[in-house]
Amino acid sequence: MGDEPDNRSLYELALARLAEESVTDSAHELAARLQPAVRASSAVVLWRRLSDRLEVFWVRRSPQLSFMGGWHAFPGGARSRGDAGLEVAGTPSGSDDGSREVGMPGEFMGGVDLEPVLASGIVAGALRELFEETGVLPGAEAHPRGAPEGFGAARLSLLAGEMDFAEALTDLGFGLCADDLVYAGRWLTPPLGPRRFDNRFFLLEWPVDRQLQPEVIPGELEEGEWVDPKVAIARWESGGVIAAPPILHILRVLAEEGPQNGLERMRDPSETNLGPFRRIEFRPGVLLFPLETPTLPPAGHTNAYVLGHENMVLVDPGSPYKSQIEGLVSAIRALEADGRKVTAIWLTHHHRDHVGGVEALRRELGVPVCAHRLTALRLAPIGIQIDQILEDGQRVVLGGGSPSALQVFHTPGHARGHLVFLDEATGSLIAGDLVAGFGTIVIDPPEGDMSEYFASLEKARALGATTVFPGHGPTIHQPAGLFDRFIQHRRWREEKILGAWLGGVRETEGLLNSVYDEIEPMARPLAARQLEAHLVRLRELGSI
């Protein structure tokens, strides 16, 4: 009845309002409002032939970087403002005119600027990043100051911020030329954060007898090396490397066909598609599907995962939208055609943006749904039945020719029945809403408990995971710092609350003004719940 109180948490009510709003708005219209900004970027794949093999030069990004820290990639980065003003002679062979497909079929592409490859400094940016990160430039060996010491000094000044790239080129008396670059494809990064990158890749042959050879100066990059593409793929398959789909695709094509015969295959990434999704497998045995969901902004997606190599489990199919459910089913059918099978659905917790597609997927796949017993209690009233209970410390082996062992851990705080799942082989942690790839996590009493949340963060940190796959946002490699930041942020906020309280500020509005003064007005209701969670904890500790 309308007069009855709504006992859902504010967090759930916010999600419900978005879900109700989406009844009149299509999923793509909802995605349009939450569409992240798109920024042009580029990368250069240096390659060379030795007597017995092909090699490429790849780099390892510093673990301290907030974006893809610790990942392996090719030299490159985002276009800067100054790149558009740089003159570039020549044209990369095979360049696109901006009309080639960037995203997946049917993907919302509003706001994506489909620029020709030579426009607005894209090639200049690729050459600038190549010089900054490796110290080489096409044509440098023929220049009077092409000796390593000449270009090396200019590079050091550039990295030190003593001059920009245009000034470095002027100082060298050197002009940029793109004739030796070969266009090798275009990829749009998936919707995992507040920003996406429209990335061009170029091949550049760099023989071993060139006087200038690529060298990484530690900073944004930790190291660089020449590597046989076959060896690079093997290192990724063993779990020793984390890399993005375009890196893996280019490596595979180079390993199997080489830079000439494989060029058209490199430019056409359709072989990496799983139904309407591009295959996102940063670590072997962990497939990621960002699904449009009615979640809390700034997020517009919830990450679903398929874990395992032969027998698999599907984690958190959270989208209620028909197009997203059908797309996920299509991707799973593509995996089945490759000899793989989903045998169960696992849930990290009960929130609507993590369970919206559960019943549809259960019917389609004919598999049991598994979760913590407290999650089962929360889902029963809305008609979602849990068939099997997952317990803290449980170990589940997914059988088949390549078995995978997953460990289950109870991590309450955000939700009482919250679970995380650890892949023993690769150290990959499927974290649900314990942490996020960007932003913070809502702790909303009484379902949310700040003391339990602190304990769960410490518990997860102690697992020693190598990579965290959150429910929202990008994947984080070497995540000890991530857990530290979440813990430190909560302690910092709690100290501010305690200081304001001891200073005589006791009312909610006054505490919000003192402690959450930096947030947007629309976020104040959720901040009030966070405030209450901290106050409950401070009372438990006897601090207030």
The predicted-structure confidence for 418-433, as pLDDT tens digits, reads as follows 999 999 999 999 999 9
| Band of pLDDT at residue 37, cut at 50, 70 and 90 | confident
Report the pLDDT averaged over residues 202-225: 94
In angstroms, rounded to a whole number, what is the distance separating the alpha carbons of residues 419 and 313?
Answer: 14
Q: Where in the chain is the domain with CATH 3.90.79.10?
A: 36-270
- Residue pair 524/512 in contact (Cβ under 8 Å)? The answer is yes
Distances (CA, A) of 505 to 15, 501, 515, 529: 31, 5, 10, 17
Distances (CA, A) of 23 to 9, 30, 382, 383: 21, 10, 18, 20
Where would I find the beta strands (DSSP E) of 260-360? 273-274, 277-278, 286-292, 301-307, 311-315, 341-346
In angstroms, rounded to a whole number, what is the distance separating the alpha carbons of residues 114 and 66?
Answer: 27
Q: Minimum mean pLDDT among 140-144, 203-207, 341-345, 365-369: which range?
A: 140-144
- Residue pair 450/490 in contact (Cβ under 8 Å)? The answer is yes
Percent of the chain at pLDDT > 70 equals: 87
Report the pLDDT averaged over residues 96-120: 46
Report the mean per-residue pLDDT for the chain. Answer: 88
Q: Minimum mean pLDDT among 363-367, 467-471, 518-522: which range?
A: 518-522
pLDDT for 145 equals: 57
Q: Quick: pLDDT tens for 242-274.
A: 999 999 999 999 999 999 999 999 999 899 999
| Band of pLDDT at residue 304, cut at 50, 70 and 90 | very high
Amino acid in position 407: Q
Report the pLDDT averaged over residues 426-442: 93
298 against 86, higher pLDDT = 86
pLDDT for 254 equals: 98
Q: 118 pLDDT exceeds 80?
A: no
Q: 233 pLDDT exceeds 90?
A: yes
In angstroms, rounded to a whole number, what is the distance separating the alpha carbons of residues 291 and 435?
Answer: 18
| Band of pLDDT at residue 299, cut at 50, 70 and 90 | confident
Q: Quick: pLDDT tens for 460-517.
A: 999 999 999 999 999 999 898 899 999 999 999 999 999 999 999 999 999 999 999 8
The residues near 509 (Cβ < 8 Å, ≥ 6 apart) are none
pLDDT for 520 equals: 79
Q: Which two tokens stand for residue 387?
A: 């068939």
143 against 19, higher pLDDT = 143
Output the 3-class SS for 133-175.
HHCCCCCHHHCCCCCHHHHHHHHHHHHCCCCCHHHHHHHHCCC
Fold topology of 10-29+281-541? Metallo-beta-lactamase; Chain A (3.60.15)
Amino acid in position 532: E
Q: Minimum mean pLDDT among 97-101, 184-188, 320-324, 364-368: which range?
A: 97-101
pLDDT for 194 equals: 74
Amino acid in position 314: L
In angstroms, rounded to a whole number, what is the distance separating the alpha carbons of residues 440 and 490?
Answer: 10
Q: Where in the chain is the domain with CATH 3.60.15.10?
A: 10-29+281-541
Report the pLDDT averaged over residues 312-331: 96
Report the pLDDT averaged over residues 67-76: 94
Q: Decide the pairing of beta strands 286-292 and 72-73.
A: unpaired
User: Whole-model pTM above 0.85?
Assistant: yes
Q: Which two tokens stand for residue 500?
A: 């304001």
In angstroms, rounded to a whole number, what is the distance separating the alpha carbons of residues 324 and 287?
Answer: 16
Q: Quick: pLDDT tens for 378-412.
A: 999 999 999 999 999 999 999 877 889 999 999 99
Percent of the chain at pLDDT > 90 equals: 71
Chain position carrying tokens 């003391």: 451
pLDDT for 192 equals: 86
The residues near 254 (Cβ < 8 Å, ≥ 6 apart) are 45, 47, 54, 56, 229, 262, 266
Q: 286 pLDDT exceeds 60?
A: yes
| Band of pLDDT at residue 106, cut at 50, 70 and 90 | very low
Fold topology of 36-270? Nucleoside Triphosphate Pyrophosphohydrolase (3.90.79)
Chain position carrying tokens 């199919």: 317
pLDDT for 403 equals: 85
| Band of pLDDT at residue 121, cut at 50, 70 and 90 | confident
Q: 20 pLDDT exceeds 80?
A: no
198 against 297, higher pLDDT = 198
The residues near 4 (Cβ < 8 Å, ≥ 6 apart) are none
Chain position carrying tokens 């030190």: 160
Separation of first and last alpha carbons in the chain: 39
Amino acid in position 36: P
Select from 116, 215, 123, 130 the least CA-distant residue to 177: 123
Q: 112 pLDDT exceeds 50?
A: no
Where would I find the beta strands (DSSP E) of 308-433? 311-315, 341-346, 369-371, 388-389, 395-398, 404-410, 419-423, 428-432
| Band of pLDDT at residue 3, cut at 50, 70 and 90 | very low
Q: 97 pLDDT exceeds 60?
A: no
